[in-house]
Chains A and B, each alone.
Chain A
Amino acid sequence: MTSIAARVADFTGGLCTFEVDARTVRSLLRELEARFPGLGEHVEQEMSLAIDGEIFQDALGAEIGAESEIVLIPKIAGG
């Protein structure tokens, strides 16, 4: 898993790329929260995910494959 957002580094102590074991977005967030307290909630509130190249916003049920690459990205809205 990779992040391109500034605040994630604040939670991870600078770590930008790491492995997480999770099968859904919900379990991913739980895992992040356990490893980096505050990060899971931060991601749920403020971020989107790209799972294997597809962007998901607010999709807790989305599935994650065993080899999936996930990127944490800022939530995209617009004008």
Chain B
Amino acid sequence: MSDGNQGGINLKVVGSRPVRPDGVDKVTGRAQFGADFHLPGMLTGRIKRSPHAHARILKIDASAALALPGVKAVVTSSDFASDATGEIEAGEGHAAIQEIAANCLAKGRVLYQGHAVAAVAATQPEIADEALELIEVTYEVLPHVIDVEAAMAADAPVLHEDMFTKGVTPKPAHASNVAAKHVMGRGDVAAAFNAADLIVEGRYETAAVHQGYIEPHACVASWGADGQSTIWCSSQGQFVIRAMVAKILNMPLSDIKVIPAEIGGGFGGKTTVYLEPVALALSRKCGRPVKIVMSREEVFLASGPTSGAVIDVRLAVRKDGRITGAELTLKYQAGAFQGSPVNLGLMTAFACYDVEALALTGYDVVSNRPKVAAYRAPGAPMAAFAVESAIDDLATRLGMDPIDLRILNAVRDGAKTVYGATVKHAALVETLEAIKASPHYQAPVAKGCARGVAAGFWFNVGGESSAAVHVDEDGGVTVVSSNPDIGGSRASMAMMAAETLGLPIERVRCTVADTTSIGYSGVTGGSRVTFATGMAVVEAAQKVVADLKRRAAATWECDVAMVEWKDGAATCTDPSKDVKPLSIKALAGKSAKTGGPIAAEVSLNAQGAAAGYGVHVCDLQIDAETGRSMVTRYTAAQDVGRAIHPAYVEGQLQGGAAQGIGWALNEEYVYGKSGLLENAGFLDYRMPVASDLPMIDTILVEAKPNPRHPYGAKGVGEVPIVPPLAAVGNAVSRIVGRRMSSLPLSPAKVLAAMGK
């Protein structure tokens, strides 16, 4: 469903649903993902990992492994550059390169089970496996700490002796696991609570959850004798992989070519390196290409989940339902190294609501878990779970419709966010109204079911992107994108180029270039590709149009101002010229005679990404004797600006909702007493399967196209994972008859809460 408001633009391609240019390869098995590359002489790499949650590495003895026939190289952290410094933009923030390196191969200490200690390259997988067992690592096991509040305790085992809490004045005297304390706020919170008619409060917990991409991390690295190297890998950004590998191995960027493979899902989790520097270090040692592919167990043990969190929230409310003040404390797990997305949790928590006084505190806390990585709207879903649950409690206490309560408090254009941005082009109210008017919300709740609603916010970002548009000699067009296509972006890039050039979509193809073939681009993340890389595509296409017009004017010997570009052809508006339109095909065929090949590349740093808002409604039923929940109906509405390819936008809403439902009901990292992960596999991690879900209806709200984007696009990928935790939780709480504040809402927890 589209809410219209096309702003008078007559769009032919944007808004349609063509087949994606890479589609056939992906339905025939021809698409090459990270593990699908084979090179002559290629070796198999394997990684030796810590069996302990926390231990000092006393000694690594690889002599027996190296003596095994077929073993070509072994590397440890000493093979990484010791003087590598600097920061790299990736995922949810900046991480010191030394920490990324130490996460790829442990230095001195292992900080979680599965932490990489050494790696081996051998001629056969079986030999590599045997060699791993022959690498002897001597550990001194140290006390461990897993949970966030336990890690914050004064007597907790400290992971990093040099970590002193940032953001505390004066600087603390003792090292601790609290990497930083963040404070944010405005207004007179105490006064708001003093004047409140009603105070709602609660304490919430969410579990660490994994992105759950189906493709395990995989790469092939090949070192050249002159240092020039090539890496094939599936990632969310070939340029960021190049930058990290270069710094960790102390190489010039121009010596590394990263060729992006197709990527089998990422959701933020493939914005950093785990294998690539290790594989290249191995290749450097033995001069042969090395392939490393993680097992699923390794993915769970050693690649980024997102933070589990403990959250306290208080709302000060007037009796008419207006929220006048709020306090929020977020404690986020960072994993073994600092850098949880707690900042983003603070910034997004109340972003849907116009609340005058806010006092927000966040703690970034390390513990003996894998280092967190970005996961779809990093930091936002947990904070939203707490806030949207509290608002649901408020609606119950006031006897108000939960949508009406949210409309009453919703941000509108001109409102000021806590982080300093002014709300612009926001369609939250329209999205709430769209849900309210939806067939789902209008239908009565089925017998034995309950309904929950929740809203969510994500910033969406812009940033650095590059794209090229090449006109072929026959008038067809190739778009060169700088971002891996994680969910159909080749289609939207080709569509925006086709729209700009006035071509049918079938005449435009799109490819994703390696690091040597296009200008720099940031990661495929932050819901930025359609917006920022799309802007580069459109600007490149506009340059091509300008060039085509110039060539037409030269052909006609008229002023270029008298040339119009329409439907893929130049027409002359000079009444003195009796000429027929020149199609792109005609112009391209004569390009050699009018100045040479027709192509344009644009690199830019896109500012002005518009935020997105989502509202979800969930109906579910619970088996009262077993506590098992089943989602029976689900609708997701979102402020999308303008949908370039509506089917893929719907897909983002549906996929995000499904991930959020899994987060709410079943997914979690389960640790035993010894600090070891007990469910490092799909079997016991329990992501939603097809029979767990109903159809997920979507409403694309196009009431406020983004004026900063040529076709009005807003980022859409991340918002949809923000509302489901509370939408599900609110429905469960309604049936249980009390607030369910701890995720996941497993059958045992629900049954216990039902008093059975």
| Touch between chains A and B, by CB atoms below 8 Å | yes
Q: Please report A residues at the B interface, Cβ cutoff 8 Å.
A: 2, 4-7, 9-10, 13-14, 45-46, 50, 52-59, 62, 69-71, 73-79
A74, chain B: closest CB distance, angstroms: 4
Give A2 to B271 CA distance when docked, in angstroms.
Answer: 30
Say yes or no for B525: interface residue by CB 8 A criterion. Answer: yes
Which single member of B92, B420, B458, B608 contacts A2 (CB below 8 Å)? B420
Given known contacts A7-B180, A10-B169, A54 and B422 CB-to-CB distance under 8 angstroms: yes
Say yes or no for B523: interface residue by CB 8 A criterion. Answer: yes
Closest to B378 in A: A79
Closest to A55 in B: B421
Give A58 to B464 CA distance when docked, in angstroms.
Answer: 9
CB of B166 within 8 A of CB of A13, answer no
Which single member of A50, A62, A71, A78 contacts B718 (CB below 8 Å)? A78
Q: Which 4 A-B residue pairs are closest in the complex by CB-CB distance? A: A79-B268, A53-B422, A6-B167, A71-B420
Give A13 to B375 CA distance when docked, in angstroms.
Answer: 33
Which of chain A's residues have a CB closer than 8 A to the CB of B420? 2, 4, 50, 53, 55, 69-71, 73
Which of chain B's residues have a CB closer than 8 A to the CB of A76? 344, 347, 459, 461, 526
- Which residues 418-438 of B have a CB within 8 angstroms of A? 418-422, 424
Which single member of A6, A62, A77 contacts B92 (CB below 8 Å)? A77
CB of A46 within 8 A of CB of B87, answer yes
Given known contacts A76-B461, A78-B527, A79-B377, A52 and B93 CB-to-CB distance under 8 angstroms: no
Which of chain B's residues have a CB closer than 8 A to the CB of A52? 422
Given known contacts A71-B419, A77-B525, A78-B528, A13 and B169 CB-to-CB distance under 8 angstroms: yes
Closest to B373 in A: A79
Say yes or no for B308: interface residue by CB 8 A criterion. Answer: no
Which of chain B's residues have a CB closer than 8 A to the CB of A79? 91-92, 211, 266-269, 271, 374-378, 525-526, 717-718
B375, chain A: closest CB distance, angstroms: 5
For this complex, 13 residue pairs linking A to B, each with C-beta atoms less than 8 Å apart, are A4-B182, A4-B185, A6-B181, A6-B183, A10-B169, A54-B421, A54-B607, A58-B605, A73-B347, A78-B374, A78-B718, A79-B266, A79-B378
Chain B interface residue count, CB cutoff 8 Å, equals 57
Which single member of A6, A70, A78 contacts B166 (CB below 8 Å)? A6
CB of B463 within 8 A of CB of A57, answer yes
Which single member of B93, B528, B605 contacts A74 (CB below 8 Å)? B93
A62, chain B: closest CB distance, angstroms: 8
Say yes or no for B519: interface residue by CB 8 A criterion. Answer: no
Closest to A62 in B: B607
Which of chain B's residues have a CB closer than 8 A to the CB of A71? 419-421
Give A56 to B527 CA distance when docked, in angstroms.
Answer: 16
A66, chain B: closest CB distance, angstroms: 18
Which of chain A's residues have a CB closer than 8 A to the CB of B211? 79
Closest to B523 in A: A77
Say yes or no for B416: interface residue by CB 8 A criterion. Answer: yes
Give A5 to B718 CA distance when docked, in angstroms.
Answer: 23
- Which residues 554-610 of B have a CB within 8 angstroms of A? 605, 607-608
Give A56 to B185 CA distance when docked, in angstroms.
Answer: 20
Closest to B181 in A: A6
A58, chain B: closest CB distance, angstroms: 6
A23, chain B: closest CB distance, angstroms: 18
Which of chain B's residues have a CB closer than 8 A to the CB of A5? 167, 182, 343
B485, chain A: closest CB distance, angstroms: 16
Which of chain A's residues have a CB closer than 8 A to the CB of B181? 6
CB of B607 within 8 A of CB of A57, answer yes
| Contact mask for chain B residues 357-385; partner A; CB cutoff 8 A; 1 contact, 0 none | 00000000000000000111110000000
Which of chain A's residues have a CB closer than 8 A to the CB of B462? 57
